[in-house]
Amino acid sequence: MPIDNGSMLHHDEAGGGQPVVLLHGFPLTLEMWRHQIEALSATHHVIAPDLAGFGGSGPASDPVSMESYARDVAELLDSLDVLRQVALVGFSMGGYVALAFLGLFPERVGALALIDTKATADTPAAKAGRVDAAAHVLEQGSSFIAEAMIGKLLSPGSLADRPNLVSELVASMSAQPPRSVAQALGAMAVRADTTPLLAAVGVPTVVVGGAEDVIVTPEEMGTMASAIPGAEYVEIPGAGHLTPMEAPDAVSEALARWLNRMTD
Q: Which residues bind ligand MLT (CB under 6 A)?
A: 25-26, 92-93, 188, 215
Min separation Cβ 129 and ligand MLT, Å: 9
Cα–Cα distance between 27 and 136 in angstroms, integer? Answer: 15
If DSSP codes are grouped into helix, strand and coil, which group holds residue 210? strand
The span from the CA of 11 to the CA of 25, in Å, is 15
Instruction: Give the residue with the Cβ less far from ligand MLT, 204 or 244.
Output: 244
Within 8 A by CB and 6+ apart from 39, the residues are 248, 252, 255, 256
Q: How many CA atoms lie within 13 A of 196 on its CB side?
A: 3
- Residue 181: in which H helix or E strand, if any? helix 178-189
Q: Are 219 and 91 in contact (CB under 8 A)?
A: no
Q: Shortest approach of ligand MLT to residue 116 CB, angstroms?
A: 7
User: Among candidates 252, 245, 25, 61, which has minimal Cα distance to 234?
Assistant: 252
Closer to ligand MLT by Cβ: residue 45 or 191: 191
- Is 44 or 224 the residue whose CB approaches ligand MLT more closely? 224
C-beta of 92: minimal distance to ligand MLT in Å? 3
Compute the least distance from the CB of residue 28 to ligand MLT, in Å: 7
Smaller CB separation from ligand MLT, 92 or 172: 92
DSSP, collapsed to helix, strand or coil, labels residue 14 as strand
Q: How far apart are the C-alpha atoms of 262 and 243, rounded to whole Å?
A: 22
Of the pair 25, 209, the CB lying nearest ligand MLT is at 25
User: Rounded to the nearest whole angstrom, what is the least distance from the CB of residue 142 to ligand MLT in the complex?
Assistant: 14
Q: Closer to ligand MLT at the Cβ: 29 or 252?
A: 29
Nearest distance from C-beta of residue 127 to ligand MLT, angstroms? 11
Backbone angles phi, psi at 109, to 5 degrees: -110, 120
